[in-house]
Amino acid sequence: MSTSYYPHPVIAREGWPFITGAFVTALLVQYLADWQWALPFWLIALFILQFFRDPSRVIPDLAGAVLAPADGRIVAVDQVRDPFLSREALKISVFMNIFNVHSNRSPVDGEIRNKWYFPGSFLNASLPKASLENERNALWIRADGGQDVICVQIAGLVAKRIVCHARSGEHLARGQRFGFIRFGSRVDVYLPLGTKVNVRIGDKVRATETVLAEFH
């Protein structure tokens, strides 16, 4: 096993402006009023700090492994029509609540063949229709073994910003961080039929460390 590399450990860089603003506001309220008035602002600042945590993770050394792209709970394991590559596929969905780590990481080693962004609604991300109706960003990754994998970041009820740093033509390593979704969300993974699925609905998973599935 190896530890994934990320140049901004512990706290995600997407959170720095929010964390700074929250702590400055709390300090100002405490300075201008007193600690009782400032207490709610300190609690908000601490919540924002924990939301943007981004710990390093250990990458399983298992050939053909498809890793969880996000922390959370499995809400779907289905055979569906892949809306991006027009094929029958297995879909595994990970729902993130506001207390999960929201850093998104590549499920496989592979090259990004394409990238799509779709504006949309902000329905509860645990609902099945969120996959097709919510704001979302999709990556088509051609795994080093030749398998086509779709990884979709989906905004949730209060998530208002999907961040994706990956670009078409870039090669991602398993567990490599490629994006972030602010304040509640979901990630769908579409895999070729015949892939061995290792999780089921209700399972809790950890980004990079949990093996969702295995290619034969």
Beta strands 196-197 and 177-181 are unpaired
* Cβ neighbours for 93, distance < 8 A, ≥ 6 positions apart: 74, 75, 76, 77, 131, 186, 187, 188, 189
Give the structural domain span for 43. 10-54
Compute the radius of gyration of the chain from its Cα atoms: 18
Could you tell me if 40 and 103 lie in one domain? no
Mean of per-residue pLDDT scores for the chain: 87
Q: Do the domain assignments include residue 115?
A: yes
Selected catalytic residue, list 93, 103, 131, 185 = 185
Could you tell me if 204 and 169 lie in one domain? yes
Could you tell me if 84 and 169 lie in one domain? yes
Give the residue-averaged pLDDT of 5-14: 67
Q: Do the domain assignments include residue 95?
A: yes
185 as an active site residue: the answer is yes
Q: Work out how many domains the chain is built from and give that number.
A: 2
| Residues 128-163 pLDDT 10s | 665 666 788 999 999 999 999 999 998 866 555 788
Predicted model pTM: 0.84
| Residue of 69, 70, 92, 62 whose CA lies nearest to 79 | 92
Could you tell me if 202 and 107 lie in one domain? yes
Could you tell me if 76 and 162 lie in one domain? yes
| Residue of 12, 185, 181, 178 whose CA lies nearest to 111 | 178
Could you tell me if 72 and 127 lie in one domain? yes
Could you tell me if 105 and 193 lie in one domain? yes
| Residues 178-199 pLDDT 10s | 988 876 688 999 999 999 999 9
